[in-house]
Amino acid sequence: MSDINMEKFAVPEFVPERYVKELAKSCVGGEELAQQKEKIQSLAEETASALKKNVYENYMQFIETATEISHLETEMYKLSHLLSDQRMVLTTLSQASVLGNENTLSRESLDNHDLEAERLEEERKNKLNSISEKVESCMNLLDVPDRHLLHEGDLLEIDAEENTALQRMHVYLFNDCLMLTSWISNRRGPMRYKFQTSYPISTLAVVNVRDLGTVKQAFKVLAFPDTRVFQCNSLTIKKDWLDKFDVAKNMHIEKENLKQKKKDSQDKIKHESLESPSLSVEELLSPQIAPLPDWLADVTEELDVFIVERHFQKTYDLMIKAQRTLSTEEFVTHPQRTEILKKIEQKQKVLTEILLKELDVTHNWSPRGGLRSSRHPVLILNKFNMTSQACELFLDICNHTVKAHVKAVQLEGSIYSYVKQVGEVFFCSLSDALTEFISLFPNNKLSAFVVWASMQLRILMSQIIKQVFTPQCALDSILECVQSLREQCTLFCEFGLDLRFQMNSCLRSPIIKALREYKEKIVDSMKTKVSEDKWTPVNMHTKAGVNKFLSQMENLGLILVRYVINETWVDLSSSTIWFAQSVITVQNVGLEIVTKDMMDVVDECICAIFSSRLKFSTGNDTTYAHKNFKFILETVMTHMIKKYKDKVGYDNVKLLDLAVEYGVHIAPPKKSNITYTSNEYL
Amino acid sequence: MFSAVAYQLSSTFLEEQKLCCGRGARVAMSKKPAAQPTLHKVIMVGSGGVGKSALTLQFMYDEFVEDYEPTKADSYRKKVVLDGEEVQIDILDTAGQEDYAAIRDNYFRSGEGFLCVFSITEPESFDATQEFREQILRVKNDENIPFLLVGNKSDLGDKRRVPLDACRERAAHWQVPYVETSAKTRDNVDKVFFDLMREIRSRKSDDSRATNGDVKRKPRRKIKCAIL
């Protein structure tokens, strides 16, 4: 007989047809076949249920993994964005270094002047040689000792008079001249150009063409007697060209001035030739004024770089340093002072904008970084006197973190464990926010935090109330939840912020509502319970049942051992037991859950329940019913009055009145005397 | 922002240009449509901040720019109708702060006429005109180069610090016209540009008559044709 087991189905070459054929062959008679079919069916069911189970087991994990993956994805996206930003910075820097050669050279020359200079010289020569190769009948580029390339690019030449396109050009700008070359078309392989002409920088004047009819993005080169107009592909390219022309012009002026100086004084020659590369353009333009230090002259560029690289702290430091230095006596009269200060101010604006954006939760913000990640921007904004904005945005971030944390708590198991967890998470993130807030902001902003925190609490409470205070939720589980919330709130007071009042004020109306609803429920069901009561003792069936009942009642404060008869019987009717349990629960829970200002609600509920029960009893006159009535009056009511006083410190006047009305004598005079002579009354 | 403004400017300019073209065609044009009208090259000179750019922009786009941003060297071109004839004006707005003489000379060389601007509220800028005049004469090597002395900011009469007599005296000494303008109120703005263009035009026709058929340059021939 073929045995049915999983392995057979699991093999990869399993063919259902063959399997069925074999099975049919080996089976004798229809009965056996039916048996086999049943077996296979049960096997299928088993696997199906196992599969289901597996799916359920892993379901949560699936979801978690999915959210994690989506988080990671956003993170990666952000990262790649950052990386591409930085790549841009690096490329611009490397381009800038081509023209910044002089500066780098001068800085490093102090350390290893020879090596560095040699390397640069080599590079320069290579570059010029490669240009010479590309350009047919090129002029000798290497004949001028320190010629180097500043900029090159394709431009379209425009007829200066007719505004029509003339030819495509490839233009090289060197530090000392401009070389124009035309394209050689119909050629394969690398692009080659034909030399046209070159103008020395000193004879050039560049004009930004603002308006030339239909020709856009053009600039003009005036090189007497020629006037040449070039069109660029984009505004940035044009700006680039104009900037580079400026650089070339400034370098040229610098050189001219140097020559002038050399002529002026022979002694200075040696001195200056040593230092010449490090002289900045500004110095030479205004030689009579104390020169700005290099870092100060370049401060705006440096700030730009820092901002792009997101070194916000460094940006701020540099700004302050520059501003301070500029306000010292040495520079107070410097002609460039106001200009630089103005630029720094602009940069400051840019920086604050970026920082504000950084803090803005609506703008691509992820909770993963935590509050700490916002520390730097906030601190810098504080220094710029933008505390209020920073504070607002910071609290917004806190908002989101709190929300995210609370959201992460899942509703599983009892409502109590959920509320407890939510409360813990909420107050923890609140305390995190508070400690961070205190460290970041000055004390006068603390009120903002208090307002924010109480608002958060209100939001949280409204959510919790919706979930906890439902008709399905038993009164004692509501009590548990409220108690755990209060406990955590009290713990939170240690951080110096007491939110208990706000919490209680949020809880007030739902608690009152819940108590009243509970009362209504009891009063409503009282009628049926009492009228359907058979007025006989209740059988608990087993000894264990009796013990359980006794301990339950003991928990409520009633010791009923003397009511046990015949081992398993309790000498009270079912409605009486139910009533005693309900009314004592109302009092116990009520006294715990309310705050002082709601005591009257508890009183009212207890009294209402009692009086409605007592009214029912007047109609019943069987002896057993009467006995139960007596139990309620003498045992339950007395117990409750006593318990109430123990708990609160004074009597439940309404219940006492009720007791007197029904002729119950309670209140041991001694105790009441003590209460009246106690300080409370004074 | 900037591009939006630029777009607006260019579109208004295009409309203007269309209008000009239309009018020009009605008036006199019988040339090929591709040919461009005669070009007059005007250069704005003067110290920094006297309002060269403001005058230029007011003339070009009928707008007054309050913010001051130093110019490097900007050029503008516009088609206008000068005494019934369509011409092009090319304005080179130079940098008042350009302190490198060699480059300044290059700008001056390309000009056919000059508006030498100073601010009537700023005696230093008036003094500087002397130097500009000398440089221009040196570069152009021509005593009769079309030239207007322009006292700008006439709307600020209460802050006037250059007396009118001094201005007139200097203009008379140079044998050039003197005009007071306000880039803010557009007072005399068109006048200075059109007066200068008339001078340039008469100067060109004198030249071509002098050379008498010796046609070196296209524009001159065109001018001659137009006059004949």
CB pairs A-B closer than 8 Å: 75
pLDDT higher than 60, residue B14:
no
Sign of CA dihedral A457, A460, A462, A468: negative
Q: Does the beta carbon of B14 lie under 8 angstroms from any beta carbon of chain A? A: yes
For the residues A486-495, what does the mean pLDDT come to?
85
Q: Which residues in A lie closer than 8 A to residue B17 (C-beta atoms)? A: 213
Chain B residue closest to A245 (CA)?
B72
Residue B199 CB coordination number (10 Å): 20
Mean pLDDT across chain A, nearest whole number?
A: 78
Nearest to B103 among A163, A205, A214 (CB): A205
Among B45, B77, B139, which would you mutate to test the A interface (most chain A Cβ atoms within 10 Å of its Cβ)? B77
Q: Is A358 exposed, middle or buried (0-12, 13-18, 19+ CB in 10 A)?
A: buried
The 8-class DSSP code of residue B47 comes to S
Residue-level pLDDT at A131 = 83
pLDDT higher than 70, residue A2:
no
Chain A residue closest to B99 (CA)?
A285
Among B32, B59, B103, B220, which would you mutate to test the A interface (most chain A Cβ atoms within 10 Å of its Cβ)? B103
Residue-level pLDDT at B21 = 47
At A362-389, the pLDDT tens digits run 655 565 556 667 777 777 877 777 778 7
pLDDT higher than 80, residue A288:
no
The token pair that represents A197 in the structure block: 């002409």
The 8-class DSSP code of residue A203 comes to G
Residue-level pLDDT at A551 = 87
Q: Does the beta carbon of A251 lie under 8 angstroms from any beta carbon of chain B? A: no
Whether residues B110 and A246 touch (CB distance < 8 A) is answered with: no
C-alpha A123 chain-centroid distance: 49
For the residues B110-130, what does the mean pLDDT come to?
92
Whether residues A205 and B107 touch (CB distance < 8 A) is answered with: yes
Within the 280-299 window of chain A, which residues sit less than 8 Å (CB to CB) from chain B?
285
Residue-level pLDDT at A343 = 82
Residue-level pLDDT at B24 = 43
Q: Does the beta carbon of A318 lie under 8 angstroms from any beta carbon of chain B? A: no
**DSSP readout, B111-175?**
-SEEEEEEETT-HHHHHHHHHHHHHHHHHHT-TT--EEEEEE-GGGGGG--S-HHHHHHHHHHHT
At A78-103, the pLDDT tens digits run 888 889 888 888 888 877 765 555 44
Q: Is A87 exposed, middle or buried (0-12, 13-18, 19+ CB in 10 A)?
A: exposed
Distance from CA of A197 to the nearest CA of B (A): 18
Residue-level pLDDT at A299 = 79
At B152-182, the pLDDT tens digits run 999 998 999 999 999 999 999 999 999 999 9
Whether residues B109 and A210 touch (CB distance < 8 A) is answered with: no
**CA separation for the pair A281, A296 (Å, rounded):** 13
Residue spans per domain, chain B: 36-185
Whether residues B102 and A235 touch (CB distance < 8 A) is answered with: no
Residue-level pLDDT at B170 = 93
Whether residues B106 and A216 touch (CB distance < 8 A) is answered with: no
> Cα angle at B82 between B79 and B85, to 5 degrees?
85
Q: Does the beta carbon of A353 lie under 8 angstroms from any beta carbon of chain B? A: no
At A306-344, the pLDDT tens digits run 877 777 778 888 888 888 887 877 777 777 777 888 888
Distance from CA of B158 to the nearest CA of A (A): 29
Residue-level pLDDT at A681 = 43
User: How many residues make up chain A in this entry?
Assistant: 682
> What Cα–Cα distance (Å) separates residue A518 from each residue in A466, A586, B28?
17, 8, 102
Within the 77-116 window of chain B, which residues sit less than 8 Å (CB to CB) from chain A?
77-79, 92-93, 99-100, 102-104, 106-107, 109-110
Residue-level pLDDT at B225 = 45
pLDDT higher than 90, residue A405:
no
In CATH, which superfamily holds the domain spanning B36-185?
Answer: P-loop containing nucleotide triphosphate hydrolases (3.40.50.300)
Residue-level pLDDT at B10 = 54
Within the 392-431 window of chain A, which residues sit less than 8 Å (CB to CB) from chain B?
none
**CA separation for the pair A398, A396 (Å, rounded):** 5
Nearest to A207 among B10, B74, B78 (CB): B74
Among A254-263, A594-603, A629-638, B17-26, where is mean pLDDT lowest? B17-26
The 8-class DSSP code of residue A293 comes to P
The token pair that represents A428 in the structure block: 């923890």
The ipTM is 0.71
Q: Does the beta carbon of B72 lie under 8 angstroms from any beta carbon of chain A? A: yes
pLDDT higher than 80, residue A609:
yes
The token pair that represents B22 in the structure block: 């239309």
Longest dimension (CA), chain A: 136
Higher pLDDT, B126 or A99: B126
Upstream peptide bond of A225 is cis (omega within 30 degrees of 0): yes
Residue-level pLDDT at A5 = 65
- pLDDT band with cut points at 50, 70 and 90 for residue A617: low
**CA separation for the pair A345, A336 (Å, rounded):** 14
At B70-96, the pLDDT tens digits run 778 889 998 999 999 999 999 999 887
The 8-class DSSP code of residue A632 comes to I
Whether residues B10 and A161 touch (CB distance < 8 A) is answered with: no
Nearest to B76 among A161, A204, A210 (CB): A210
Residue-level pLDDT at A283 = 42
Q: Which residues in A lie closer than 8 A to residue B3 (C-beta atoms)? A: 235
Can you list the positions of beta strands (E) in A309-466?
none
Whether residues A213 and B17 touch (CB distance < 8 A) is answered with: yes
pLDDT higher than 60, residue B37:
yes
Residue-level pLDDT at B215 = 45
Please list the residues that pair with A226 across neighbouring strands: A223
Whether residues A208 and B99 touch (CB distance < 8 A) is answered with: no
pLDDT higher than 60, residue A105:
no
Whether residues A205 and B219 touch (CB distance < 8 A) is answered with: no
Residue-level pLDDT at A259 = 81
Nearest to A212 among B9, B77, B109 (CB): B77
Helix (H) or strand (E) holding A524: helix A500-532
The 8-class DSSP code of residue A633 comes to I
**Contact assessment for residue B161 and residue B120, using Cβ atoms and an 8 Å cutoff:** yes
Distance from CA of B217 to the nearest CA of A (A): 12
Whether residues B36 and A210 touch (CB distance < 8 A) is answered with: no
Distance from CA of B172 to the nearest CA of A (A): 31
pLDDT higher than 80, residue A603:
yes
Residue-level pLDDT at B163 = 92
Distance from CA of B95 to the nearest CA of A (A): 10
Question: The tokens 């034909």 sit on which residue?
Answer: A194
Whether residues A214 and B109 touch (CB distance < 8 A) is answered with: no
Residue-level pLDDT at A671 = 39
Residue-level pLDDT at A618 = 59
Residue ranges of alpha helices (H) inside chain B are 2-27, 52-61, 101-109, 123-140, 164-174, 189-211, 218-227
- The answer for B62, left when phi > 0, alpha when psi is -120 to 50, beta otherwise, is left
- The answer for A630, left when phi > 0, alpha when psi is -120 to 50, beta otherwise, is alpha
